[in-house]
Amino acid sequence: MEKKPHFVRRDFPPREVSSVPLALLLGAILLLNALLYLYLSKFYGSPGRAGTDPGVCSFGYFKLGAGKNCSPWLTCEGINREVRKLKCVGEGAVKKVFLSEWKENKVVLSQLTNSELKEDFLHGLKMLKALQSKHVVRLLGYCEQQFTILTEYHPLGSLRGLNETLHIPRYKGMNTWHRRLMLAIDYVSIIRYLHDSPLGTLVMCDSNDLDKVLSQYLLTSDFHILVNDLDALPLVNRSAGRLVKCGHRELRGEFVAPEQRWPYGDEVPFEDALMPPYDEKTDIWKIPDVSNFFLGHVEGSDIVRLHLFDIHAACKKEDPAERPSAQEVLDTYKRVLTLLIREAAMPGTREML
């Protein structure tokens, strides 16, 4: 009888994974982290640089465009002699805004229109002078006697036109989750700066609805955000027991924070003297709604929202004391941006490790 072949099962030792590809992968990750650090540092800097002058000029001086020399803020005489109005480009309750020209540079001239609101106008000027930084529109001059302020011109205008701008062919490349998240980071950076400003903790009171918020900020040509309107910026001073109220009228709607709404129900008529004051955490309540506008509905924006879900839920806590600080929100936004850029650059990293 013919013998059947006898097969012996052998257990082969596990194949060793070469250490070379793994080392290359880890090196690539380290390099990517370094590049991300440099990239984010370039755009946002460190918290200690929040007050850096945008034009690298001393206080009371400015420079425009490619100019090398710093010029002193224009006075009444300089504005009257050297600035030429071109056309009216906007008008609000406090002031009228003119596109103007100074030494072949486009500038913005703002003039008081309602004498009853001159205190608001002068408060805005005081804030503009004291808060000059990379977060605030550049002041070029002013004339208190004529209630006139001169600032830098930004052709893309206020944030109300962001979506329209992103549909212009030359800017369509900016319409990504990445760029939109960076705008949200800019916005939160400004709130953080105001809450920890050289003057103390300031509250952005001109923010009773989304459209009003967006009108307070400008979009620069390199797609960053500057705060432009500082007329309603009261100071919180907890050590002195000073809180704030944003105006003297009743505020309604889900956009404003719960503590900004009349707490005594419809059966009690609103009375300003009975309205409790509040602090800067009203700004935190509004961050998720403003950021939701920034993120829009582009590819990837829902993934960003998912990563921001927990911090946004914390921002919407009914008790203001339980909401995070602007710094905590900013730190979370930056971590999410770093994480998502890393995953986009090396999508298979987690599986490979």
Whether residue 223 sits in one domain with residue 139: no
User: Which range marks the domain in which residue 239 is found?
Assistant: 154-345
pLDDT of residue 178: 95
CATH of the domain at 138: 3.30.200.20
* Three-class DSSP labels, the chain: CCCCCCCCCCCCCCCCCCHHHHHHHHHHHHHHHHHHHHHHHHHHCCHHHCCCCCCCCCCCEECCCCCCCCEECECHHHHHHHEEEEEEEEECCCEEEEEEEECCEEEEEEEECCHHHHHHHHHHHHHHHHCCCCCECCEEEEECCCCEEEEECCCCCEHHHHHHHHCCHHHHHHCCHHHHHHHHHHHHHHHHHHHCECCEEECCCCCCCHHHHHHCEEECCCCCEEECCCCCCCEEEHHHCECECCCCCCECCCCCCHHHECCCCCCCCCCHHHCCCECCHHHHHHHHHHHHHHHCCCCCHHHHHHHCHHHHHHHCCCCHHHCCCHHHHHHHHHHHHHHHHHHHHCCCHHHHC
What is the number of domains present in the chain? 2
pLDDT of residue 146: 95
Q: Does 9 fall in a domain?
A: no
Q: Does 6 fall in a domain?
A: no
Q: Does 176 fall in a domain?
A: yes
pLDDT of residue 56: 76
Whether residue 149 sits in one domain with residue 176: no
Whether residue 270 sits in one domain with residue 208: yes
Tell me the pLDDT of the chain (353 aa) as tens digits: 545 455 445 554 555 555 656 555 555 555 555 555 555 555 554 433 344 445 578 999 999 877 778 999 999 999 999 999 999 998 888 899 999 999 999 999 999 998 889 999 999 999 999 999 999 999 999 999 999 999 999 999 999 999 999 999 999 999 999 999 999 999 999 999 999 999 999 999 999 999 999 999 999 999 999 999 999 999 999 888 899 999 999 999 999 999 999 999 999 999 999 999 999 999 999 999 999 999 999 999 999 999 999 999 999 999 999 999 999 999 999 999 999 999 887 665 544 44
Q: Does 306 fall in a domain?
A: yes
Whether residue 170 sits in one domain with residue 143: no
pLDDT of residue 345: 76
pLDDT of residue 53: 47
Q: Does 77 fall in a domain?
A: yes
Q: Does 39 fall in a domain?
A: no
pLDDT of residue 192: 98
pLDDT of residue 261: 97
Whether residue 124 sits in one domain with residue 148: yes
pTM of the prediction?
A: 0.84
CATH of the domain at 186: 1.10.510.10
